[in-house]
Chain A
Amino acid sequence: MKADVGAPLAPSGLGQLLRLPAYGRKVGGAAEFVVIPALALAASLVLFGIFVALFGKNPLDLYFYMYQGAFGTWFSWQNTLTRAAPLILTALCTALPAQLGMVIIGGEGALLIGALSATGAALALESAPPLFVDLAMAAAGMVGGGLWIMLSGALRHYRGVNETISSLLLVYIALAILNYLVEGPMRDPTSLNKPSTREIGADNMIGSIPGLDVHWGFAFGIIAALLAYVLIYHTVFGFAARVAGGNIRAAKVVGLNVGKLILVICFLAGAAAGLAGMMEVAAVQGRTNANLAAGYGFAGILVAFLARQNPLAVIPVSILLGGIGASGGLLQRRLGLPDASVLVLEGVIFVMVLASDSLYGRFGFLRGKAA
């Protein structure tokens, strides 16, 4: 999936800055980026309301409980943000390679390998001061996850293997490695009915953001998304990546080292997912076991596509999906809807947002005349 780079009607970031468009046109373009996704979202909610009404539930109740469960109370906000935290990082694992025109869907594998590497680092450094252990865990998690996705990048660049397939298959290999290590060499012999590694220790847990019941993964996710945005839209490296994503031959003709771009971007993408895995260990689980394969990597793909592969848009989209997840529980409890109804809503939103892509540039009044 290509980024919206170079699409004439939707100039983005650097290109737009260079061309210094008229104020009205800029605001009009901006309005389009708000209005169209909002329309797609509203249409999805209406469709979902009809779907729920077919099962004899009141759609107004549905909207009320969704709002209450996701954003209606301070607790609900924290619930939403907690669920959004891992999604920001795993979404970057798909959004960054997308700048190069690559479709990486193996963030789950990088998350698992990142978690394993981070746990390994913590267990190897048991007597070290907690800050040092946490830094080592973050480094190990990012390197582990980074190398995992870089493997897909390298297979693509050197051997011509499709990166979508290879990254997906590597998820199952990562899961098998995790199960092998957790049930074998790294198993804590006292973890009888739930094979797990030893715990990293309460002192090494990084806990919540002060004043919030949301773990630090959310803050690091936002920082990572901002860094990714700056990297892609405000650096020469990011410009080169987008050029290569737009036309790989042209990039080679102008002398860009495409292989290096692929490997570095894939490493950074995997590092983001690896950091998500490290955070799950250091802030939530305290050890590695099969619980880590909770599907955050796969949910990240959905986030990245809904965000149209834009690293900044990943943040609000993660919060939106976190909110849907958080409200899903209330829908089950108050309306008696099955868990799968949330998947229906996510699916409808996904299809509507992708379909709404064709609307960009069709609203003349939003451009030029607007504002």
Chain B
Amino acid sequence: MNFDRISRRRVLQGTAALTLGAALPLRPAAAAETTVGFIYVGSRDDYGYNQAHAAGAAALKGMPGIKVVEEEKVPETDAVEKTMESMINLDGATLLFPTSFGYYNPHMIKVAQKHPKLRFQHCGGLWSEKDPKNAGSYFGYIDEAQHVSGVVAGYMSKSGKLGFVAAKPIPQVLRNINAFTMGAKLANPKVTTQVIFTGDWSMPVKEAEATNSLIDQGVDVVTCHVDGPKTVVENAARRGAMVGGYHVNQAVLAPQAYLSGAEWNWEVLYPRFVKMFTAGETIPNFYRGGLKEEIVKVSPYGPMVSAEARKHADEVKAALIAGSYVIFKGPVADNKGNMVIASGVARGQTDPELEKMNYLVDGVIGATS
């Protein structure tokens, strides 16, 4: 091949592009008062993290004057910057929800700086004063729901061995494992949680292996913190173990094995944000909440959950909603024997120390590194 061939090909391509461009005037996106864009890192029917957000987006679709545009499987690279800009330029989106953690910095920050009049709402990031004012981050204290789910698991486990398939030993995940285990210990102080880290957010093969290996070790209740819990739930149910769900309600996947679960409640939060936005109110840049604020919820208990378990779990849930209950209340020891929260210290949900959690509490079998 040499240059004339290439130039010929490119000339032809260019001509074709120009002709098409002249022939097809750009159709503007259908007019709507407000277009809201949602971006997911995985597929929106993953029975997990992304489906939870898609359910929130679906809740907007009935609202008058609101148009929702969605894009799935967008990687955490400059692709997401271009996706946001494409939604802005081609669809006229004015409110964007890039929902994956890795979209925040530098990607969403960069696009938010470029479009100061538009609003960007990120799930999971920690907005700080140095970030643009038109950007915001929101997240839920889902460990509250895990705690309640842990109470149920503690009652239902016959072997006293719980299993937790987790992605990475980062603060958010450790907090869920700890809250779950501390909940289970309310029911049965001798209970243990064996944790297996798979190393990444979506590793179906490793998640299946981890689930099998936990059950082989005598675990009879398995729960998880990975992006798509489908593999874990289905495998555990197939092996005869009970399961706790995560992100969304997975009871449909294992109706006879599903005890309870920790779910996001984005279908309540997103309409709330959109109403604030269309009313011209300022959405707080840093927005957090738990069961009380209806940002997270507990799955309805499965049919096999005992009355005793339901009663205790409901009590804990009610206390969390009332704000009279603190999960991370000293004394709390880690699983190496160190005191991590001293006696008399109560770390409420907004305590920044909890955002830096780097330990597994007593009763968890596993290591953070």
> Are the C-beta atoms of A333 and B69 separated by less than 8 Å?
yes
Query: Which positions 9-46 of chain B face chain A at CB distance < 8 Å?
Result: 9-10, 12-13, 17, 20-21, 24, 26-27, 43
Binds B, one of A62-70, A120-128, A351-359: A62-70
B274 to chain A, nearest CB (A): 18
CA distance A69 to B21 in the complex (A): 12
CB-based nearest B residue for A10: B1
Please measure, in the bound complex, the distance between the C-alpha atom of A239 and the C-alpha atom of B331, giving whole angstroms.
74
The answer to whether B1 and A75 have CB atoms under 8 Å apart is no
Give residues of chain A (48-75) contacting chain B, Cβ–Cβ below 8 Å. Answer: 64, 67-69, 71-73, 75
Decide if A193 touches B1 in the complex (CB within 8 Å): no
Establish whether residues A30 and B26, one from each chain, have CB atoms under 8 Å apart when the complex forms.
no
B2 pairs with A16, CB closer than 8 A = yes
Q: CA A10 – CA B353 in complex, angstroms?
A: 68
Q: Does B229 contact A (CB under 8 A)?
A: no
Interface core residue of A72, A233, A295 (most chain B CB under 10 Å): A72
Decide if A38 is an interface residue (CB 8 Å cutoff).
yes
A interface residue numbers (CB < 8 A to B): 4, 12-13, 16-17, 29-31, 33-34, 37-38, 64, 67-69, 71-73, 75-76, 78-79, 82-83, 179, 183-184, 192-195, 215, 233, 280, 284-286, 289-292, 294-295, 310, 312-313, 316, 325-326, 329-330, 332-333, 338-340
Other CB < 8 Å A-B pairs besides A34-B12, A73-B90, A184-B369, 4 of them? A17-B2, A75-B89, A193-B170, A333-B71
Shortest 8 CB-CB contacts between residues of A and residues of B: A339-B73, A30-B5, A291-B76, A294-B75, A333-B69, A79-B82, A34-B9, A75-B89
Separation of A73 and B17 alpha carbons in the complex (Å) = 11
Residue B4, interface by CB 8 Å? yes
Assess whether A294 is in contact with B90, with CB atoms less than 8 Å apart.
Answer: no
Chain A residue contacts of B6, Cβ below 8 A: 312-313, 316
Residues of A within 8 A of B77 (CB): 280, 284-285, 291-292, 294
CB distance from B263 to the nearest CB of A (A): 20
Which residues of the other chain, A, contact B170 by a CB distance below 8 angstroms?
192-195
Return chain B residues, CB-CB under 8 Å to A326.
82, 86
Answer whether residue B78 sits at the interface, using C-beta atoms and an 8 A cutoff.
yes
Map CB proximity to A onto B165-194 as digits: 1 under 8 Å, 0 otherwise: 000101110000000000000000000000
Give B319-369 interface residues, CB cut-off 8 Å to A: 355-356, 369
Residues in A with CB closer than 8 Å to B200 are: 290
Chain A residues contacting B1 (CB-CB under 8 Å) are 4, 12-13, 33, 233, 310, 312-313
B85 at the interface (CB under 8 A from A): yes
Q: Report yes or no: A339 in contact with B76, Cβ–Cβ below 8 A.
A: no
User: Please, what's the 1-or-0 string for B44-77, where 1 marks a CB less than 8 Å from any CB in chain A?
Assistant: 0000000000000000000000000111111111
- Can you list 19 A-B contacts with CB-CB less than 8 angstroms, sorted by A residue number? A31-B8, A34-B5, A34-B8, A34-B9, A67-B20, A69-B86, A79-B86, A192-B171, A192-B355, A284-B77, A286-B106, A291-B102, A292-B77, A312-B3, A312-B6, A313-B1, A316-B10, A332-B72, A340-B43
Residue of A at shortest CB range from B14? A71
Interface centre among B70, B73, B91, by most A CB within 10 Å?
B73
Q: Compute how far the CA of A69 lies from the CA of B168 in the bound complex, rounded to whole angstroms.
A: 36
**A93 to chain B: closest CB distance in Å?**
18
User: Which single member of B21, B71, B75 contacts A291 (CB below 8 Å)?
Assistant: B75
When A184-B369, A192-B356, A294-B76 are in contact, do A333 and B87 touch as well, CB less than 8 Å?
A: yes
Binding site for A on B (CB under 8 A): 1-6, 8-10, 12-13, 17, 20-21, 24, 26-27, 43, 69-79, 82-83, 85-87, 89-91, 101-102, 106, 124, 126, 168, 170-172, 199-200, 355-356, 369
Q: Per DSSP, are chain B's interface residues mostly helix, strand or loop, or mixed? A: helix
Tell me, in angstroms, the Cα distance from A205 to B19 when the chains sit together.
Answer: 38
List A contacts of B101 (CB < 8 A).
193-194
Assess the B90–A33 pair: CB atoms within 8 A.
Answer: no
Return the chain B residue nearest A289 by Cβ. Answer: B102
**Closest Cβ of chain B: how far from A104's Cβ, in Å?**
21
The answer on a CB contact under 8 Å between B76 and A329 is: no
From B78, which residue of chain A is reached at the shortest CB distance?
Answer: A284
Flag if B17 contacts A71 (CB, 8 Å).
yes
In the complex, which of the residues B8, B74, B82, B124 contacts A82, with contact meaning CB atoms closer than 8 Å? B82
Once bound together, how far apart are the Cα atoms of A291 and B355, in whole Å? Answer: 22
With a cutoff of 8 Å between Cβ atoms, the chain A residues found around residue B171 in the complex are 192-193
Contact of A330 among B3, B13, B86, B106 (CB under 8 A): B86
Given contacts A75-B90, A193-B101, contact A325 B24 (CB under 8 A): no
Q: Is the CB of B90 within 8 A of A68?
A: yes
A25 to chain B, nearest CB (A): 13
Alpha-carbon distance between A312 and B82 when the two chains are bound, in angstroms:
26
